[in-house]
Structure 1
Amino acid sequence: MSSASSSARRDAGLYISDSIIVTIASSTEVRTAVLQHQALIADETLAEEIFLVSELDDGYCGTAGSTDLLIHIDRTS
């Protein structure tokens, strides 16, 4: 998950120092796992917030294990 988030950050043209909000669209299993480890994932990705949704219109295509996911990253103000 951290690797996919880092790639999404790079694709969005953001720096590691930028505060971000992460939105993740994936399977119910991945969303459940993210919820269970949300604080750790936010800490590792330097995300101020993480939102979980069932689908997104655009974003970075990545994987969590063998499951596809879509990540959208926005810079916070």
Structure 2
Amino acid sequence: MKRVLEFRGIPQHELKEYFHQLAISAKSEKLFLGNGWSASLSEEGTLSFGSLTIPVTYITFSGDDKSVNEVIKEFRRKTMRAGG
């Protein structure tokens, strides 16, 4: 299974910290390995809305279905933000 998700508004250094908490190892600065899954981060881009600029990162999750679904569930918990 392979899934690509887009994360906006969260600096990439925070995303990496979340993966350090979830992964078994980091193969590089942008590739993380877990039990039955891997995740790779794109280069950080930006998106502009008028005068507002926000960071954008695409994350590719790969591995067996159950492991990928579980790590995405946990990762989304870590990246959940309150609206305002």
TM-score above 0.5, yes or no: no
* Higher RCO, 1 vs 2 (CA within 8 Å, ≥6 residues apart): 1
Larger helix proportion of the pair = 1
Higher alpha-carbon Rg:
2
TM-score normalized by the length of structure 2: 0.29
Larger strand proportion of the pair = 2
TM-score normalized by the length of structure 1: 0.31
